[in-house]
Amino acid sequence: MSGSILVAMASVEFADDRPTLEVANRGLLTVGVLMAMIVYMLDATIANVALPHMQASLGATFDTITWVLTSYIIALAVATPITGWLSDCIGSRNLFLIAVAGFVLASMACGASTNLEEMVLFRFIQGVMGAFIGPLSQTAMLDINPPSRQARSMSLWGMGIMIAPIMGPIIGGWLTESYNWRWVFYVNLPVGMIAFALLWLFLPSRPISRRSFDLFGFAVLAIALSSLQLMLDRGTDQDWFESVEIWIEAIIAVSAFWVFSVHLFTKHNTIIDAALLKNSNMAMALVFQLIIGLMMMAVMALMPPMLQRVYGYDVLDTGMLLAPRGIGILMAMFIASRLINRVDPRYIIMTGLTIASVSMWQMTQWSLVMDSTPIVVSGIVQGLGMGLCFMPVNSMAFSTLDTQYRTEGASILNLFRSLGGSVGISIVTAVLGMNVQTSHADLSSHITSSSMSAVDPATADRFGVFGETAMAMVNAEVNRQALMIAYLDDFKLIMYILFFALPVILMMRPPKTVSFSSPQGTADSIGH
């Protein structure tokens, strides 16, 4: 059985090895698609490091400036599910061009904002436009490449998806320090305009297929996603379920998701085709997108502050130490693109998850007295693991889907990856805060006269400035050690999540060669 599967997967000589959409210049169009997608992905993280500088310029407070990030995330979550419907109604080409142009104009407006209200509005618009770019870029890469080249095209697309969030804080930090925070947004203009020009010249369109809009389904889903994102974003500041606000947002989110689920499986022509979720490979791919998003964004949320607060690296050094993850991803994507038609993708995913788990175990062994070598090594290993997971997961998700469902499938895959990132950041941030307090209390209890040879804590005030300085140094070191312990506990938590995700792979079906053999679809269509 396994031999026949491998033989079938190894065959790339298709009876009709033609792309779904013919293009005049596939190379230049690929450049345009990737540029649009990279700009959109960069903006998910590039603005984070500039928030303190924005706060002063926009007259915002510490609590309100976070809406610059929150508005973008909510817009992404709300707009992503309607990408398939809009693409069918106005054409994939038209929607892609509108999205790129809108994103560029919104970026310009963000850079020129004079107050917080303007910034939040333009970031919301930016998020809406970005929500369309993600799925449409993936669909375009599948449509313009023949079946024999789709693995390589997905590896190129995946490189941008995985590397851009890693490079965002590096580029954002450099632009903010070298120029000012407004260039975090202005940098999108030249890249976006080139992408728009290439798309305008070469991008074909899928057929227009007008269908009714599921207003009720969209409204309920938008309420559910918005409430969930608000809860995740404000949970840490509001002390989670000690706050009435968080309880209200949680109840609304759960209720709305339940209503949407009932609506999805009992009505026809819903905003998301229920058959997508009934497809086993797509369902399992959504689970893995949650896990990939959780790992990628959670680690990226933890690493910069850890390297700066615990080890004392500056912004640029932090960026350089995070860069090896990108090198690992590039290597893994190259390897995966060569193996995808020769080896059962489930084995590649399993290998990737195992390697990623090993990288998290390596990070649990870090200490306060180490140099940068373990950071670089674990980063490369982690990049290899993430890269080996990402592309095969996407390949298997689409392997049993008819081509007409590509845009809708891509949109919910992007949605689940974003949700995984939001949930992951919230979990590790909450766990970090709790563990810092616990570790600090535990370490402080061991500071006694017998453990300190220079100063007795109970009588330190007798020594005046010397005593106060000594105790301040002791407290700083306790804080540093408590932070270190808390970070290591977070790394261990992510490792466990990755480890327990391994059995999910067995629930996926291996792809068949015929699945992409023809633009018109195959027998292995969505309902099977």
> For 10-46, what is each residue's pLDDT tens digit?
444 444 567 777 777 888 998 999 999 888 888 777 7
- Structure-token pair, residue 315: 């912004």
> For 11-20, what is each residue's pLDDT tens digit?
444 445 677 7
Q: Decide if pLDDT at 461 tops 60.
A: no
Q: Decide if pLDDT at 193 tops 90.
A: yes
* Side chain identity at residue 101, one-letter code: A
Q: Decide if pLDDT at 9 tops 50.
A: no
Confidence class of residue 472 from pLDDT cuts 50, 70 and 90? low
Residue 325: its H or E element: helix 315-339
Are the C-beta atoms of residues 143 and 206 closer than 8 Å to each other?
Answer: yes
Q: Residues 187, 179, 172, CA angle at the centre, nearest 5°? A: 55
Distance (Å) of CA 207 to CA 88, 139, 402, 403, 408: 7, 13, 15, 12, 14
Q: Decide if pLDDT at 440 tops 90.
A: no
DSSP 70-136: HHHHHHHHHHGGGHHHHHHHH-HHHHHHHHHHHHHHHHHHHHT--SHHHHHHHHHHHHHHHHHHHHH
- Structure-token pair, residue 204: 């074909």
Confidence class of residue 53 from pLDDT cuts 50, 70 and 90? confident
Q: How many CB atoms lie within 10 A of CB 47?
A: 24
Q: Decide if pLDDT at 494 tops 60.
A: yes
Kindly state the average pLDDT of the residues 476-482.
Answer: 76
The percentage of the chain sitting over the pLDDT mark of 70, rounded to a whole number, equals 86
Q: Mean pLDDT score of the chain, rounded to an integer?
A: 78
- Class (C level, CATH) for 24-213: mainly alpha
Q: Residues 388, 511, 140, CA angle at the centre, nearest 5°? A: 70
72 backbone φψ class: left, alpha, beta (φ>0; ψ -120 to 50): alpha
Confidence class of residue 517 from pLDDT cuts 50, 70 and 90? very low
Query: What whole-number distance in Å separates Cα of residue 497 and Cα of residue 182?
Result: 38
Kindly state the average pLDDT of the residues 142-149.
Answer: 80
Q: Decide if pLDDT at 236 tops 50.
A: yes
DSSP 8-state secondary structure symbol assigned to residue 66: T
> For 54-74, what is each residue's pLDDT tens digit?
877 887 776 677 778 778 888
| pLDDT for the residue numbered 455 | 52
- Please tell me the least confidently modeled range out of 252-256, 373-377, 456-460: 456-460
Are the C-beta atoms of residues 203 and 97 closer than 8 Å to each other?
Answer: yes
Q: Residues 513, 517, 519, CA angle at the centre, nearest 5°? A: 150
* Side chain identity at residue 469, one-letter code: T
DSSP 228-281: HHHHHHHTTTTTGGGSHHHHHHHHHHHHHHHHHHHHHHHSSS-SS-HHHHHSHH
| pLDDT for the residue numbered 125 | 92
Kindly state the average pLDDT of the residues 131-150.
Answer: 84
Query: What whole-number distance in Å separates Cα of residue 263 and Cα of residue 252?
Result: 16
- Please tell me the least confidently modeled range out of 184-188, 303-307, 485-489: 303-307
- Please tell me the least confidently modeled range out of 229-238, 272-281, 509-518: 509-518
Are the C-beta atoms of residues 158 and 326 closer than 8 Å to each other?
Answer: no
Are the C-beta atoms of residues 35 and 203 closer than 8 Å to each other?
Answer: no
Distance of CA 338 to the CA centre of its chain: 24
Kindly state the average pLDDT of the residues 234-263.
Answer: 85
Q: Based on the number of CB atoms within 10 Å of its own CB, is 20 exposed (0-12), middle (13-18) or buried (19 or more)?
A: buried
Q: Tell me the CATH architecture of domain 279-446+456-528.
A: Up-down Bundle (1.20)
**Straight-line distance from the first to the last Cα atom of the chain, in angstroms, rounded to the nearest whole number:** 20
Contacts of 437 (CB under 8 A, 6+ apart): none
> For 342-357, what is each residue's pLDDT tens digit?
888 888 888 988 999 9
| pLDDT for the residue numbered 116 | 86
Q: Decide if pLDDT at 4 tops 70.
A: no
Q: Decide if pLDDT at 470 tops 60.
A: no
The percentage of the chain sitting over the pLDDT mark of 90, rounded to a whole number, equals 12
Are the C-beta atoms of residues 349 and 288 closer than 8 Å to each other?
Answer: yes
Query: What whole-number distance in Å separates Cα of residue 291 and Cα of residue 284?
Result: 11
Q: Residues 504, 505, 507, CA angle at the centre, nearest 5°? A: 70
Query: What whole-number distance in Å separates Cα of residue 21 and Cα of residue 110?
Result: 35
Query: What whole-number distance in Å separates Cα of residue 389 and Cα of residue 351?
Result: 8
Handedness of CA 452, 364, 237, 43 (dihedral sign): positive
Residue whose structure tokens are 């997905």: 154
DSSP 8-state secondary structure symbol assigned to residue 517: S
The values of phi and psi at residue 469, to 5°, are -65, -45
Confidence class of residue 299 from pLDDT cuts 50, 70 and 90? confident
- Structure-token pair, residue 76: 């992404």
Q: Decide if pLDDT at 211 tops 90.
A: no
Give the predicted TM-score (pTM) of the model.
Answer: 0.74
Kindly state the average pLDDT of the residues 368-373.
Answer: 86
> For 90-109, what is each residue's pLDDT tens digit?
888 899 999 999 999 999 99
